[in-house]
Structure 1
Amino acid sequence: MKKAFITGIGSGLGKAFVNVLLKNGYSVYALSRHLPDEFNGKIKFEKVDLLSLENVYKSVDSLLRGERVIDLVFLNAGMLTPLKDIHDTPIYEMNRMMDINVWANKVILDYFIDNRIYVDQVVAVSSGASVNGNRGWHGYSISKAALNMLIKLYSREMTQTHLVALAPGLILTPMLQDFVLSADEKKFPSVKRIKNSPKMTPEEAAEKIFSLLPHLKSFESGSYVDIRKI
């Protein structure tokens, strides 16, 4: 049975992706703040707030101790706060996004290296915001750009593993609805474009990403890949 490790399964893409993994016969190990009731008894779960970086390593250890092989690592957990100009965004708010979107992933990847766990494939959920620099995306854009580079750097060290930073396209998640679709489209022009663009449900996105996992390996390890350009 194949094994998958995933972060951030409380809602949206992460929750949907767990369902796809289970449907396809994977044994799932999940790290998240919340465990949806439907997964009780179906997955191995460790509760942790990724903002508490000091707890992440030991939480991964509690979840994976004794495992030697993980087929897929899906680094999904992420944080976005309401759109605003970067001038109006305090550094502490951007630091929180960096902790979840970047540094928690570093701690997780370090665990695999330290404990000599063979990982076949790593997919870190990035964003088009990491490269387009649209007004209002403040620390989210910066953190996702840093995530892209983090994955590239780890690809140089995890030479037996294939890694990509994947922009999954527009997904109707609570994060998108709460912080983007409700924002001022006159002040932040990307909002209007997003409103008028086709969007996937989390379930559609999860199925699409899962179906593309073999194809992602055709890209150089460490690459940033936008799913809309595949």
Structure 2
Amino acid sequence: MTGIGSGLGYAFVEYFLKQEYEVYALSRHLKDEFKGKIHFQHCDLLAIETVYPSTQKLLQNVKKLDVVILNAGLLTPLKDIHDTPIYEMEQMMDVNVWANKIILDCIIDMKIEVPEIIAISSGASVNGNRGWHGYSISKAALNMLVKLYSREMKNTHIIALAPGLIITPMLEQFVLSADENKFPSVQRIKNAPKMTPEEAVQNIMNKMNKLKNIPSGSYVDIRNL
């Protein structure tokens, strides 16, 4: 699991602990309530050179993982792509795409058996709404990354999953506060039904059998299931 400091990642850890899973997490933050309860390795995915050794250290004694959830993501304030500097878009690519490649490479190199991988994508990867700049581009790239790895990881079912609209600090800080006149998607998101992270996790787990039947390498929006 990556990105467990808040939102969906935090809720996933809560869920799996209640189900008595052994949880391995790579993240910048470890909440006090999880200390001593999970295997944790600090890693800032923006420090791209640290991702492989951190993953290797976290999983050094692991032979099999039931599921890998690549949850960590980076979104910066909504703005026109013309106004978005390359360095900002590179940061989103590092966290949303390249860090996931490195983690997958490490898992393959360590010969860890993983039957199921879920990379958390977004509807932004396909809808191209104004203002979503490098986030849309990076999530679209993540979808293709998943498809390409599915061609190589024959014994693993891997999908890119858009989990629906979730009330998270990222959504509240960068989306709901944005200019809805300039960026029409903001008003639509404000009006649309939204889930808590806990509800989103339960929704994903309830639909896990359907997700497993989707061809490996696919992008899927859970709202369409």
Residue 67 of structure 1 aligns with which residue?
A: 62
Separation of aligned partners in 2, 1:212 and 1:108: 25
Could you tell me which of 148, 153, 157 is aligned with 2:148?
153
Residue 136 of structure 2 aligns with which residue?
A: 141
Residue 108 of structure 1 aligns with which residue?
A: 103
Give 1:120 deviation, angstroms: 0.8
Could you tell me which of 49, 52, 56 is aligned with 1:57?
52
Residue type at the aligned position of 1:216? L
Could you tell me which of 152, 173, 176 is aligned with 1:178?
173
> Does 2:74 align with 1:79?
yes
Residue 206 of structure 2 aligns with which residue?
A: 211
In structure 2, stretches of 5+ residues that fail to align are: none
> Does 2:112 align with 1:117?
yes
Residue 40 of structure 1 aligns with which residue?
A: 35
Residue 16 of structure 1 aligns with which residue?
A: 11
Residue 3 of structure 1 aligns with which residue?
A: none
SS of corresponding position for 2:40: strand
User: What is the percent sequence identity of the aligned residues?
Assistant: 69
- For residues 83-128 of structure 1, the C-alpha deviation after alignment (integer angstroms, 9 at most, x for no partner) is 0000000000000000000000000000111111110100000000
Separation of aligned partners in 2, 1:87 and 1:107: 29
SS of corresponding position for 1:83: coil
> Does 2:169 align with 1:202?
no
TM-score (norm 2): 0.99
Give 1:140 deviation, angstroms: 0.1
Residue type at the aligned position of 2:106? Y
Separation of aligned partners in 1, 2:89 and 2:97: 11
SS of corresponding position for 1:166: strand
Separation of aligned partners in 2, 1:49 and 1:142: 21
Separation of aligned partners in 1, 2:52 and 2:62: 15
Residue type at the aligned position of 1:17? F
Could you tell me which of 184, 188, 196 is aligned with 2:183?
188
RMSD value, Cα: 0.6
Residue 22 of structure 2 aligns with which residue?
A: 27
Contact (CA 8 Å) 1:20, 1:210: kept in 2 or not?
A: no
Equivalences for residues 218-229 of structure 1 within 5 A: 218-229=213-224
Question: How many residue pairs are counted as aligned between the two chains?
Answer: 225
Could you tell me which of 160, 164, 168 is aligned with 1:165?
160
Separation of aligned partners in 2, 1:24 and 1:108: 25
Residue type at the aligned position of 2:144? M
TM-score (norm 1): 0.97
Separation of aligned partners in 2, 1:137 and 1:39: 33
Give 1:207 deviation, angstroms: 1.2
Residue 97 of structure 1 aligns with which residue?
A: 92
Separation of aligned partners in 1, 2:69 and 2:148: 17
Contact (CA 8 Å) 1:168, 1:226: kept in 2 or not?
A: yes
- For residues 133-171 of structure 1, the C-alpha deviation after alignment (integer angstroms, 9 at most, x for no partner) is 000000000000000000000000000000000000000
Residue type at the aligned position of 2:164? G
